[in-house]
Amino acid sequence: MEWIADPQAWIALATLTALEVVLGIDNIIFISILVSRLPLQQRDKARIAGLSLAMGMRIALLLSLAWVMGLTTPLFSILGEEITGREIILIGGGLFLLAKSTIEIHNSLEGTEEHTQSSQAVSFGVILAQIAVLDIVFSLDSVITAIGMVSQIPVMVIAIVIAILIMMVASKSIGEFVDTHPTIKMLALSFLVLIGVTLIAEGFELHIPKGYIYFSMAFSVAVEMLNLRRRKKQQAARSPIKLYRRL
């Protein structure tokens, strides 16, 4: 526990916590979209369970550093390119995220989403299983980042716990906002497609700076917020006219 008296450790804790929250944004979006298929009374429970899974997996990976570092050891070669366990996980997770996002976009555009929800009960366990699959990929990326920044495992664990607790508090409001604004949901699904492509690229050792991705996401959200504000003003301007016509 010597790190408690080390100011550098506290700075690292604050920095790593903020970074974990930023890296967890895609996880929150994915969980929010998945739990929207559940009945209203189960959504909060699913959000908390999904983020708890993420926290458990990240801590478990931290406590098995030898296995995580072993994922960078080449397993086999294809056309002269060495393939590691980390690359397989990234490519598999990226393909899953790409497929899932594409299906969700198709259902939203074709109008089959409501029909599917009403005619077919969505299993709570199936949703948690899908969250767990992506949690492995997101947790792997998060843990590798943590290992590169901090050397004390307690600091990493505390940062992860604090970040997940913050995400638990924010996940409900984010999920409700995404559910009530179809354009935001479509934008979120587009982000997930982008993240899926990025994971696949990382799996093939094509590094894409995260700063570019997060900047493009933030810029798109800012533009959509302006559009929402504009539409709200237009609706407010039309309402007196409709009221006058009725009179």
Tally of domains within the chain: 2
Q: CB-side exposure of 226: number of CA atoms within 13 Å?
A: 5
Backbone angles phi, psi at 84, to 5 degrees: -105, 170
Largest CA distance in the chain: 77
**Residue 106 to residues 66, 99, 149, 182, 237, Cα–Cα distance (Å):** 41, 11, 40, 13, 33
Residues 148 and 56 in one domain: yes
Residues 217 and 98 in one domain: no
Residues 240 and 136 in one domain: no
Average pLDDT, integer, range 111-119: 48
Q: How confident is the model at residue 49 (pLDDT cuts 50, 70, 90)?
A: confident
Tell me what the pLDDT averaged over the chain comes to. Answer: 76
Residues 110 and 184 in one domain: yes
Segments forming the whole domain that contains residue 219 = 211-247
* Partners of 76 in the β-ladder: 83
Residues 178 and 222 in one domain: no
Residues 31 and 132 in one domain: yes
**Residue 244 to residues 56, 231, 235, 238, 241, Cα–Cα distance (Å):** 58, 21, 15, 10, 5
Average pLDDT, integer, range 141-152: 66
Q: Which residue has the higher pLDDT, 135 or 246?
A: 135
Helix (H) / strand (E) element for 204: namely none
Which residues contact residue 104 at a Cβ distance below 8 angstroms, ignoring those fewer than 6 apart? 33, 113, 189
pLDDT of amino acid 151: 64
pLDDT of amino acid 54: 80
Residues 145 and 56 in one domain: yes
pLDDT at 193 over 50: yes
Residues 13 and 126 in one domain: yes
85-98 per-position pLDDT tens digit: 778 877 887 888 78
Please give the distance of CA 117 from its chain centroid, rounded to a whole number.
Answer: 23
Dist. CA 166–CA 223, nearest whole Å? 25
213-245 per-position pLDDT tens digit: 778 878 888 888 888 888 888 777 766 555 455
Q: By the 8 A CB rule, do 54 and 138 touch?
A: yes
Residues 170 and 129 in one domain: yes
Residues 202 and 216 in one domain: no
Residues 226 and 176 in one domain: no
Dist. CA 49–CA 12, nearest whole Å? 28
If you ran DSSP here, which 8-state letter would residue 123 be given? P
Residues 126 and 233 in one domain: no
